[in-house]
Amino acid sequence: GIIILDFGSQYNQLIARRIREFGVYTEIIPYNTPISEIKKHDPKGIILSGGPSSVFGDDAALVDKELFEMGVPVLGICYGMQLISHLLGGEVKKGVKGEYGKSELTVLKQNSLFNGIAEKSTVWMSHFDEVIKAPEGFVVSGKSNIDIAALANEEQKVYAVQFHPEVTHSEFGSKMLENFVFNICKAEKNWVLKDFIETEIQRIKNVVGDKKVILGLSGGVDSSVAAVLIHRAIGDQLTCIFVDTGLLRKDEGKKVMENYGKHFHMNIKMVDASERFLTNLKGIDEPEAKRKSIGRDFVAVFDEESKKFDDASFLAQGTIYPDVIESQSVKGPSATIKSHHNVGGLPEDMKLQLLEPLRELFKDEVRKVGVELGIPRELVYRHPFPGPGLGIRVLGEVDAEKVRILQEADQIFIDELYAHNLYDEVSQAFVVLLPVKSVGVMGDERTYEYTAVVRSANTIDFMTATWSKLPYEFLELVSNRIINEVKGINRVAYDISSKPPATIEWE
Residues in 444-473 that interact with ligand XMP by CB under 6 A = 462
State how beta strands 445-458 and 489-494 pair: parallel
Min dist. Cβ of residue 97 to ligand XMP (A): 31
- Residue 317 near ligand XMP by CB under 6 A: no
Contact 1, 9 (CB under 8 A): no
Active site residue 164: yes
C-alpha–C-alpha distance, residues 450 and 466, integer Å = 26
Selected from 165, 387, 394, 492, the binder of ligand XMP by CB under 6 A is 387
Residue closer to ligand XMP by CB (options 123, 504) is: 504
Minimum CB distance to ligand XMP, residue 335 (Å): 13
Q: Catalytic site residue 136?
A: no
Rounded CA separation 192/177 (Å): 19
Give all strands (DSSP E) within 255-402, no chain letters: 267-272, 312-316, 353-355
185 an active-site residue? no
* Residues whose CB falls within 8 Å of the CB of residue 235, separated by 6 or more in sequence, listed in order: none
499 counts as binding ligand XMP under rule CB under 6 A: yes
Peptide bond into 501 cis (omega under 30): yes
C-alpha–C-alpha distance, residues 476 and 474, integer Å: 5
Is the four-CA dihedral 133, 135, 136, 137 of positive or negative sign? negative
Distance of CA 136 to the CA centre of its chain: 41
In whole angstroms, the minimum distance from the beta carbon of 343 to ligand XMP comes to 7
Residue of the chain from 428, 451, 456, 479 that contacts ligand XMP (CB under 6 A): 428
Annotated binding site for ATP: 218-224
Where are any strands of DSSP class E within 359-469? Answer: 428-442, 445-458, 466-467
**With binding defined as CB under 6 A, does residue 504 bind ligand XMP?**
yes
Q: How far is the CB of 387 from ligand XMP (least distance, A)?
A: 4
CB of 496 to ligand XMP, least distance (A): 15
- Binding segment for ligand XMP (CB under 6 A), chosen from 82-90, 160-168, 336-344, 431-439, is 336-344
Count of positions on this chain that bind ligand XMP (CB under 6 A): 14
405's CB contacts (< 8 A; 6+ apart) are 433, 450, 486, 487, 488, 489
Answer yes or no whether residue 503 interacts with ligand XMP by CB under 6 A. Answer: yes
123 binds ligand XMP (CB under 6 A): no
Cβ of residue 507: shortest distance to ligand XMP, in angstroms?
A: 8
Per CB under 6 A, 497 contacts ligand XMP: no
Q: For ligand XMP, give the closer residue by CB, 88 or 225.
A: 225
245 lies in the site for ligand XMP, by CB under 6 A = no
Residues 6+ apart with CB under 8 A from 314: 208, 211, 212, 213, 214, 352, 353, 354, 355
Segment near ligand XMP (CB under 6 A); pick from 145-153, 316-324, 353-361, 385-393: 385-393
Exactly one of 127, 130, 166, 200 is catalytic; name it: 166
Residue 318 found at the interface with ligand XMP (CB under 6 A): no
Q: Which of 86, 127, 164, 231 is catalytic?
A: 164
- Output the smallest distance, CB 242 to ligand XMP, in A: 17
Which residue, 342 or 490, is less far from ligand XMP as judged by CB?
A: 342
Complex with ligand XMP: residue 6 or 505, whichever CB lies closer: 505
Nearer Cβ to ligand XMP (214/504): 504
Helix or strand run (H / E) with residue 160 = strand 158-161
Q: How many CB atoms lie within 10 A of CB 381?
A: 13
**CA quadruple 259, 263, 268, 273: dihedral positive or negative?**
positive
291 binds ligand XMP (CB under 6 A): yes
- Helix, strand or coil for residue 375? coil
Nearest CA-CA partner of 330 in 16, 100, 59, 27: 59
Q: What are phi and psi of 217, to 5 degrees?
A: -95, 125
| Span near ligand XMP by CB under 6 A; candidates 48-56, 314-322, 472-480, 498-506 | 498-506
Stretch that binds ligand XMP, among 116-124, 170-178, 195-203, 334-342 (CB under 6 A): 334-342
The residue type found at 260 is Y
290 binding ligand XMP? (CB under 6 A): no
Which residues have a catalytic role annotated? Answer: 78, 164, 166
The residues binding ligand XMP (CB under 6 A) are 291, 338, 340, 342, 384, 386-388, 428, 462, 499, 503-505
